[in-house]
Structure 1
Amino acid sequence: MNPVTDWLASRARLTPTREAVVEVVTGLRLTYAELDRRVNRLATALQRLGAGQGDRIALLAPNAVCYLEMLFAAAKTGTVFVPLNHRFSVPELDYVLSDCSPHLLIVHDAFAEVGRALSSKVNIPNVLSFGEYAGLIEDGQPETYERVTGDMEDPWAIIYTGGTTGQSKGAVLSHRAITWNSVNTVVSWGLTEHDVTALYMPMFHTGGLNALTMPVLHAGGKVVIGGDFHPVQALRLMEDERCTIALFVPTMHHLMTESPEFAAMEFSTMHTFLSGGAPCPLGIYEKYWSKGLAFKEGYGMTEAGPNNFYIHPDDARQKIGSVGVPMFHNQVRLVDEEGQDVPTGSTGEIWIQGPHVFSGYWNKLEITAETLVDGWLRTGDLGRRDEEGFHYIVGRKKDMIISGGENVYPLEVEHVLAEHPGVSEVAVVGLPDPKWGERVTAVVVLAAGTELGGDELKAHCTAKLAGYKIPKQFHFVAELPKTSVGKIDKKQIEKGLTRSAG
């Protein structure tokens, strides 16, 4: 047996008075010792409510300290934390809860109505309001829980995927996976107790919990939890809290860098801006670099980390668009349809191996068997590797367009279109076509005050793209649909275009 370490108790022992977490909306600030005491009281309450080893405990809430309290209490009691995507509809949440059958559900006041609807549909032994939750961890409550010594392979969390490619799946993250993702990140990225991160990524998502939050806490740094994302507020928070590193999705970066406040700020304490969740338009790199700021991309997914590559900011300037080389404790392969490694410079599916990889999908053995093959995680993403070993993400395998027998990678076309100063956002998809099989189609959001047509954008593409890659159709829209974590939702775009064509 490989016993689980109580992370928080260890941190509270080593750095008890160091500030661990800040909740901007409420003004709550907790040291490691204070956070540990709150979690101990919650662990006591969980056991009094009958939550035993392996039982699921679910949370429906906006970003808040309660996510960390629930996660660390699960580690102490052997329960399994299930953060719920609060942007899901009631039927989607109904499915998730029916799938994971939690022993306990905590519902924040902001989602009280949704909680009542779910309580009438799903049989959950204990459903508590946020006021009742707060009462469990108030000062004066006992800390008499019985520590459960689990194994590193035991589940620590189940994070449900966004469901943009089908029904949502519960990715089971063991103590081993979360711990090794953190170790890998701290070692490879050089995080220390002096790091402070601003958190605006949703905490029901692996990017919110595992990309920087858990590694920074592991290293003894500080996590500053923002409220709803507003670009100016996020910029000011990073200055006020003297943040050193932060992760945002490309849409957030776009909004921040377009604001006048961005141009005026110095970011004297920030050593790295990170982009993740989706490939980043290359123009955003330039906006950070023009201010002398370090900017780079990462790559990951719920099932793997989400951290898998490292690139030094200096290399990011030379290898623009690259996510770098595999991190210290994981391996990466690029393979063809037969599972054979592709040569340097060729495109292949990204396969990942390492102790940070998930255990499988909850209640989905067949899909798990298709995804985990001979110890490797088949990501469904496409990438290429250059002669120096630097990796570039090409796009999702399912997004690849086959037009006239030629492979078209939407990301390449999107990067070219995004270089046009009149383009604010763009998505490229393939639509059915009787002649070409699939028709390369671009959906464009124009920059404010810009008048632009499809012919001008085609001419812009001509110098940089082969003819078969140039979109045959352009659609201009006010905004692009986004997923619950801020990614451009191509599934919704394709549905909308198909309906309008019909």
Structure 2
Amino acid sequence: MNWELDWLEHRARLSPHKDAIIDESTNMTWTFKDLNNRAKSIAGWLCQRGVKKGDRVALLSPNHICYFDLLFACGKIGAILVPLNWRLSVHEIKEILADCTPGLIGIHRQFKDKFADLIDIELDVFFIEATDFEEMVYFSGKEKFLESISEVDPLLMIYTGGTTGKPKGVVLSHQAVFWNALNTIVSWSLAEDDITLNYMPMFHTGGLNALCIPILMVGGTVVIGESFSGKKAVQSLNRYRCTNILLVPTMYHMLIQTEEFQRSTFPHMKIFLSGAAPCPYQIYDAFRKKGLAFKEGYGLTEAGPNNFYISPEDALVKRGSVGKPMLFNSIKLVKPDGSETAPHEVGELLIKGKHGFSFYWNQDQTTAETIKDGWIYTGDLAKKDEEGFYYIVGRKKDMIITGGENVYPLEIEQWLAEHPAVDEVAVLGLPDDKWGEIVTAFIAPKQPDSLTEEELQDYCCKKLGRYKIPKRIIFVNELPKTHVGKIDKQKLKEIHTVK
């Protein structure tokens, strides 16, 4: 292969005995030398099984070192790793497999029964945490990796959530993964002493590419967490002397309510990062009260997922901002007519950079609609202020048009979330004969029967224009979540309709 692309080989040479990976559940530790040796052994094993450049290798596993093993092994031989969302049904997994047609699939033994039907179809299966995996890790064949691999060759294919339609296979090249990591290291000032704890699912770009790959590239340490709880997260952050962590807002919501969070001073933490969805302001407040640095970012599978930087100091002043574009990528906001927005004017967010995806697998038309003149049209709406700080407003598809007025749900959600009796909130537009759509708020109260529709509407009147005030408020025990912990608005829309 092109050895310039195999940065793990060079990191293992520079930092052979530095801890690279720690497993939270077992406390097992692997150095960079260990990690590279495992990847070389597995690459040789894959070659012996007939895997060639461009072939797909699928993986169904909870968070586990096998993600790094297979990603780096595939990188050495030019294969494409396809991590699969194990929270999907067998039917959904089969549809994805039919789309990406992998030559091999690895299944963690934890899922052997759940996905037994996959074993019966015509797929070459190997098992993680079993004899198969041990054979891979300790493969002693003398395979030579002779394939010529360029930076634009595919390395990773991550399927989008599919909450608004059929999941799309997002193809990320060696270049995309490398430049996202490099951009993050330089823009965020990551260093060799950084240690991150990862609870984000590793079948998702946030679990692999947001912090894990950048931290490994710079010579830091990744602690792999599997199941999240607020109490355990605080304990592990302190136990492993972590310096940074990325969580989604729902995880932070759970974390800040624990006694452990209230008691801990987090002496080693440099920054708490929030991603995947806009963060409620009460989470900002919880960290500010403890004097802890907190900020949020923005990304998507198709770009990065890291695109912005904001300092903790600016995050306190510019609450809700994701900051400014990072060093090696460009951002612009455009109106429907293609012209760029003025300050505080909302437009669609476009991204350009070497960290962008190559194409959607088997979806040429969708690719052409998404990448235009090198710009990735994200479908997200944002605005920026006079100082160049960007604020995410919401998804383009989530914008509500009621009586001819444009309403951005996030503004209403942020205000309702500040009500002391509200635990979670989601706002969306539901069909209405008179208004086209009506603003509808789904509220999970902290205590049952503690709120009324009239009370919340009066509360909204204090800050919001009349056309933004929810005409309908639906109380629920809990809001549905996607596989990465984001509130699933599509499911809410499917369940609740206006008669």
Whether TM exceeds 0.5 here: the answer is yes
Structure 1 residues 232 and 380: CA distance shift in structure 2, 3 A: same
Rounded Cα–Cα distance in structure 1 between residues aligned with 2:189 and 2:358: 27
1:157 deviation in Å? Answer: 0.3
Distance 1:449 1:492, change over 3 A: closer
C-alpha RMSD over aligned residues: 1.4
Aligned counterpart, 2:169: 170
The C-alpha deviation readout for 1:46-73, integer Å capped at 9, x for no partner, is 0010001111011100000000000000
Aligned residue number for residue 131 of structure 1:
130
CA contact (8 A) 2:51 2:103 kept: yes
Contact 2:197-2:223 within 8 A present in 1 as well: yes
For residue 149 of structure 1, report the CA deviation from its aligned partner.
3.4
Q: Mark the CA change 1:183 to 1:366 in structure 2 (over 3 Å): closer, same or farther.
A: same
Identity %: 50
| 1:134 CA displacement | 2.3
Query: Which position in structure 2 is the counterpart of 1:415?
Result: 414
In structure 1, give the amino acid aligned to 2:169.
G
**Secondary structure of 1:430 counterpart:** strand
The letter of the residue matching 2:132 is Y
The Cα of 1:140 is off from its aligned counterpart by 6.9
Does the 8 Å CA contact 2:425/2:444 hold for their aligned counterparts?
Answer: yes
Tell me: CA distance 1:173–1:392, structure 2 relative to 1, closer, same or farther (3 Å).
Answer: same
* Alpha-carbon offset, residue 310 of structure 1: 0.4
Residue 468 of structure 1 corresponds to 467
Which has the larger displacement, 163-172 or 139-148?
A: 139-148
The reply to whether residue 43 of structure 1 matches residue 72 of structure 2 is: no
Following superposition, the deviation at residue 452 of structure 1 comes to 1.0
Q: Distance in 1 between matches of 2:441 and 2:454?
A: 12
Q: Is the 8 A contact 1:74 1:156 kept in 2?
A: yes
Matches of 1:63 and 1:126 in 2, distance apart?
19
TM-score, structure 1 as length reference: 0.97
Report the equivalent of 1:154: 153
Runs of 5+ consecutive residues of structure 1 not aligned to the other structure: none
Aligned to 1:89: 89
Deviation at 1:350, TM superposition (A): 0.1
Q: Does the aligned pair in 1 maintain the 2:47–2:143 contact within 8 Å?
A: no
Query: Is the alpha carbon distance of 1:148 and 1:450 closer, same or farther for their aligned partners in structure 2, counting shifts above 3 Å?
Result: farther
Report the Cα distance in structure 2 between the residues aligned to 1:75 and 1:230, rounded to whole angstroms.
Answer: 33
Q: Which residue of 1 aligns with 2:34?
A: 34
Distance 1:182 1:407 in 2: 37
- Once structures 1 and 2 are overlaid, which stretch shifts more, 139-148 or 204-213? 139-148
Aligned residue for 1:437? Answer: 436
Once the 2 structures are TM-superposed, how far is the Cα of residue 343 of structure 1 from its aligned partner? 1.2
Distance 2:351 2:327 in 1: 13
Q: Which residue of 1 aligns with 2:457?
A: 458
Q: How does 1:47-446 map to 2 (within 5 A)?
A: 47-121=47-121, 123-128=122-127, 130-139=129-138, 141-142=140-141, 144-446=143-445
The amino acid that maps onto 1:72 is F
CA drift of 1:139 comes to 4.4
2:10 maps to what in 1? Answer: 10
Q: Distance in 2 between the 1:187 and 1:146 partners? A: 31
Q: SS of 1:171's equivalent?
A: strand
Deviations 1:364-408 (A, max 9, x none): 000000000011000000000100000000000000000111000
Q: Distance in 2 between matches of 1:58 and 1:464?
A: 49
| Alpha-carbon distance between aligned partners in 2 of 1:16 and 1:142, rounded to the nearest angstrom | 22
- Classify the secondary structure of the residue corresponding to 1:323: strand
2: CA distance, partners of 1:304 / 1:457:
38
Pair 1:424–1:147, CA change in 2 (3 A):
farther
Distance in 1 between the 2:392 and 2:288 partners? 21
Q: 1:303 & 1:195 partners in 2: Cα distance?
A: 26
Alignment match, 1:24: 24
> Does the C-alpha gap of structure 1 residues 129 and 345 become closer, same or farther in structure 2, counting only changes over 3 Å?
closer
| Cα deviation, residue 2, structure 1 | 7.6
Moved over 6 A (4+): none
Q: Offset of 1:129 from its aligned partner?
A: 5.3
Deviation of 1:259 after TM superposition, in Å, equals: 1.0
Report the more deviating stretch, 239-248 or 33-42. Answer: 33-42
CA contact (8 A) 1:3 1:149 kept: no
AA at the equivalent of 2:238: E
Structure 2: 5+ residue stretches without partners: none
> Alpha-carbon deviation of 1:145?
4.1
Query: What is the alpha-carbon distance in structure 2 between the residues aligned to residue 242 and residue 147 of structure 1?
Result: 41
- Per-residue deviation at 1:260? 1.2
Task: Give the residue type in structure 2 aligned to 1:237.
Answer: S
Conserved 8 A contact 2:21-2:222: yes
Aligned length: 499
User: What letter is aligned with 1:18?
Assistant: K
Question: Scaled by the length of structure 2, what TM-score is found?
Answer: 0.98
